[in-house]
Amino acid sequence: MPKVWFQMVKQPTVISTFAGCGGSSLGYKLAGFHELLAVEWDDNAVETFQLNFPGVPVYHGDIAKLTGAECMRMAGIGPGELDVLDGSPPCQGFSTAGKRRYDDPRNSLFREFARLLKELQSKVFVMENVTGMIKGYMKQAYLTIIAELRACGYRCKGEVLNAMYFNVPQSRERVIIIGVRNDLGIEPSHPKPQGKPITPREAFKTLPPPDNIKRLPEWMKQATRFMDAGNYNHKHIERAFIRVRGKSAGCINTKLLSWDRCSCTLVKSEISSTGIIHPDCERYLTIAEMKRIMSFPDNFEFIGDRKQIVSRLGNSVPPNLMRAITEHVKNEVLLKCQN
């Protein structure tokens, strides 16, 4: 019998900064990556991450205090050995949902990512952020980020991807910046859309009857009568609020889902009596339903009360979106490096 020789393919490695509860990490895991280290400062996020990824070391603290040498020591690697450095620096300073300030100190956290990138010299980096960073006067911040990442020795390309075309039941646009180390001679690129948007009707299929329901207050029930399900336009919701309450406070965080239109973006907070409303029940979405529209598996566990869990979900990168990105990086960059 002839001998069959198998080429051993190394499992690609990743370090995740600003890891949160592990949305990106789960995407990498689904794409076949081995996570060497996660970096996160929030106590509840770290506790949730460790519950779901017990084998991954965590640097629990301020990334500004993490040196490249310590990062490599904890991950067990040397300069240039890491495949992917991943990061989603906090985006509140760029977000169109808040007060957009160019000089918001949170906007500078990308420099901590760039500092580690320069020391680790991973083959590839992936950075995720909100589209607000490329709109209006904030575009100057985006150009600054690209310039600093290129100065670390990388070819960089940014592109807006909508999660709803990557098996995530939610319209969620994000800027994805991919960089490839200059010496590898490979141009960065992004994955193409993988399918049609998934509706709540499809996403919620097979879910058991809900428990721990958060019901609508009476004024919100009245307001929904003036909302069209699936109309996520801010002004449309604002008019309904003003008609019933005489004020628009909280309308930006409120949407009425339609069974047959892809969900709106899940945000990180439910202010007072606001939130995403179930298509035909007088209640807000349950945690189980939110997990589905973020593409988290049903068995992914969260720690804390509803406020904490909504914050973890709203701040996460949808796992299926990151899976698509990282499978593309693996096939278009890392496997080519091995040839």
What are the catalytic residues? 91
Question: How is residue 136 annotated by DSSP?
Answer: G
Give the three-state DSSP class for 318. Answer: coil
If DSSP codes are grouped into helix, strand and coil, which group holds residue 267? coil
Strand 255-256 versus strand 276-277 pairing type = parallel
DSSP codes joined into one string, 161-188: EEGGGTT-SB--EEEEEEEEEGGG----
DSSP 182-221: GGG------PPP-SPPPPHHHHTTTPPPP-S--BPPHHHH
Question: CA-CA distance, 273 to 302, in Å (whole number)?
Answer: 22
Phi-psi region of 29 (alpha: psi -120 to 50; beta: other; left: phi over 0): alpha
Tokens of 264: 């709106």
Q: Which amino acid is at 293?
A: I
Compute CA distances 193 → 190, 196, 275, 322, whole Å: 10, 8, 29, 13
What is the token pair recorded at 337? 């490096």
Q: At a CB cut-off of 8 Å and minimum separation 6, what does 144 contact?
A: none
**Which tokens belong to 233?**
């336009």
Contact 225, 218 (CB under 8 A): no
Structure tokens at 250: 């909280």
In terms of DSSP bridges, do strands 58-60 and 84-87 run parallel, antiparallel, or are they unpaired? unpaired
